[in-house]
Amino acid sequence: MKTLFTTCFLLIVCGAESVHAQTSQPTLLTEENSQRAVAVDTVTRVRHPFSVVPALRWGNDRRTRLSLFGTNLDLLPGETALAVTASARDSLSRTVSLKVESVGKVQGVDSLTQVIVRLPDALAQAGDVWVSVSLRGQTSNEVLVSIAVQTEPRIATLLARRIINEVDNYVDATFSFEFGINGKDAVSLTRNDWDIEFGNSPDHDDFNVTMVVDDCSRMQDMGALNWSDSFQIPVLPAYPVPTRDPSVPAVVGHMYVVHTKDTETDLYFLFRVEALDPKKSVTVSWKSVRSPE
């Protein structure tokens, strides 16, 4: 990891000298002979591809921050990071704003500025996107940033929710698609905020997506589908205010879309019921997918 960051920093220094004299317009640095941004995860210092949701929890909102590097991004006296804006353009030409959280000089290299941006949920599973920054009405070049994409379904098993010997197995009956985990060891990462629950009723094998007070999540049964089938992910707008979504029966071979939305999260997932042990457990395959909205 240290080697990667050292290499990246050398690229920054070399790139800065080649672009600084060309224009007063803001310029984001790219890797040698490439349009790919010189960028690192602000915490781990790892380079492309970047996941919107980090594997480790950093900060309250559980989202990745990127460090971009550029020239001609000097702030005037009294200006703050608010003077710089950033955006990302995806393969469908959809533009997403990126929150700029910090703008400052790279230590020891006065001509270079580090811009720290937060990756929003709208970029989850986006693949390559074009990122630019703007300062005082001037927009930089666009540089490629690679967002990680989950290409294959993963497997998870949920137990039917029961209270046994006065112990509630809630953490085993729920699952976080956001982090891909459940169980008691996952609570510190998820903070007991889950995306789906199975078997809350003792009489039905149902799924629920409403579990916390700020939940605006929704779920829809897409019918019998295989991952290899050709299908379109339906747009499933979240509720405008916290609302209890109706339970949906678990049916083997059926595919479901989940739009999980609360004050911290706004993501889409697909899952398919692979096996069902009535009133006991369900096994699903699942994928994080790009929002169709």
**184 and 95 in one domain?**
no
Q: Residue 3: what pLDDT? A: 42
**172 and 195 in one domain?**
yes
Domain count along the chain? 2
Q: Which two tokens mark 113?
A: 């500025």
Which of 146, 163, 180 represents a domain boundary (last residue)?
Answer: 146
| SS3 state of residue 233 | coil
Q: Residue 10: what pLDDT? A: 47
The model's pLDDT over 21-43, given as tens digits with 9 standing for 90+, comes to 335 899 999 999 999 999 999 98
**140 and 45 in one domain?**
yes
Q: What is the CATH number of the domain that holds 84?
A: 2.60.40
**160 and 135 in one domain?**
no
**120 and 162 in one domain?**
no
Which of 89, 120, 146 represents a domain boundary (last residue)?
Answer: 146
Q: Residue 189: what pLDDT? A: 86
**163 and 130 in one domain?**
no
Q: Residue 58: what pLDDT? A: 59
Q: Quote the longest CA-to-CA distance of the chain.
A: 73
The model's pLDDT over 247-269, given as tens digits with 9 standing for 90+, comes to 999 999 999 999 999 998 999 99
**159 and 131 in one domain?**
no
**137 and 46 in one domain?**
yes
Cβ proximity of 284 and 278 under 8 Å: no
**51 and 107 in one domain?**
yes
pLDDT along the chain (293 residues), means of 10: 45 43 78 94 90 74 91 94 96 93 92 95 95 96 96 97 92 95 90 94 93 95 98 97 97 98 95 97 97 92
Query: Could you give the CA distance from residue 47 to residue 194 in angstroms, rounded to a whole number?
Result: 29
Query: Could you give the CA distance from residue 44 to residue 41 in angstroms, rounded to a whole number?
Result: 6
**116 and 28 in one domain?**
yes
**282 and 170 in one domain?**
yes
**130 and 6 in one domain?**
yes
Long-range contacts, stretch 164-173, CB < 8 angstroms, 24+ apart: 170/197, 173/197, 173/198, 173/199, 173/200
Which of 123, 146, 169 represents a domain boundary (last residue)?
Answer: 146
Q: Residue 62: what pLDDT? A: 81
Query: Could you give the CA distance from residue 90 to residue 97 in angstroms, rounded to a whole number?
Result: 11
| SS3 state of residue 139 | strand
Domain hosting residue 107, numbered range: 2-146
Q: Which residues lie below 8 Å from residue 203, measured CB to CB, with a gap of 6+? A: none
| SS3 state of residue 277 | strand
